[in-house]
Amino acid sequence: MTDSVSKEHGTNEALLIIDMQIGCFHTPRYDSDNVISRINKLSHAFRSKNLPVIFIQHNGIKENYLLPGTKDFEIVRDLVISDADYTVEKTVNGAFYQTHLKELLDSLNVGTLYITGLATDFCVNATIHAALIEDFNIVVVSDCHTTADKVELSASDIIKFHNFIWSNLTPTKGSITLKTHEEVLN
């Protein structure tokens, strides 16, 4: 984990786990078992340092998908969840739009976000861009996000492409870097 601190936010770090919900996995996701295992390693490390772990859940009422109160809305069973973890519900791709995420991060004195989850090309990407606009330091955990194959691109290529894009974005007041889960843990 890093020592860099955004000038606009606090000094703590938080792990965001985006949309790792049962209903999202009805479609096969690239390397999902390994992504889940790596996210569990990260969440364990964050909890052991008393750093916040925040699950983002998509409320798909607009799409009649991932409806609160249904099994599909729940976090996948293989991800470890602690009573100390936080949950933020969202209704669009980006986790900051009309949610309490920014207020929660500010209340926890968070300046650096470690971003993981699903889907690389939708909710993870939108949340990264929104976090940049909010001037957070961002660490994209390059081997802890996943997606599905698309008509023209394999999931593996989509992940590689987005990791390239994110590693070349111009930061705002914060920073943006990519690290593997092992680099974060070390």
Dump pLDDT digits (tens) for 84-118: 999 999 999 999 999 999 999 999 999 999 999 99
Is the pLDDT score of 79 beyond 50?
A: yes
DSSP state of 62: T
Mean pLDDT of 65-71: 97
Asked: is 12-185 a CATH 3.40.1030.10 domain? The reply is no
Using alpha carbons only, give the angle 92, 112, 84 rounded to the nearest 5 degrees: 75
Give the span between the Cα atoms of 160 and 148, in whole angstroms: 13
Q: Is the pLDDT of residue 2 over 80?
A: no
pLDDT value at 3 more than 50: no
**Cα distances (Å, whole numbers) of residue 41 to 26, 38, 44, 107, 144:** 24, 5, 5, 25, 10
CB 18 within 8 A of CB 184: no
Closest of 127, 115, 118 to residue 158, by C-alpha: 118
Average pLDDT value for residue range 53-65: 97
Averaged pLDDT of the chain: 95
Containing 54, the helix (H) or strand (E) segment is: strand 53-58
Lowest mean pLDDT among 1-10, 20-29, 100-109, 140-149: 1-10
Residue 1: its pLDDT value, please?
62
CB half-sphere exposure, 110, CA atoms < 13 A: 26
DSSP 74-134: SBPTTS---TT-EEEEESSSSTTTTSSHHHHHHHTTEEEEEEEEE-IIIIIHHHHHHHHHT
Q: Are 117 and 123 contacting, i.e. CB atoms less than 8 angstroms apart? A: yes
The model's pTM: 0.95
Kindly report, residue by residue over 152-171, the tens digit of the pLDDT.
999 999 999 999 999 999 99
- Enumerate the domain spans of the chain: 12-185
Contacts of 132 (CB under 8 A, 6+ apart): 138, 169, 171, 172, 174, 176
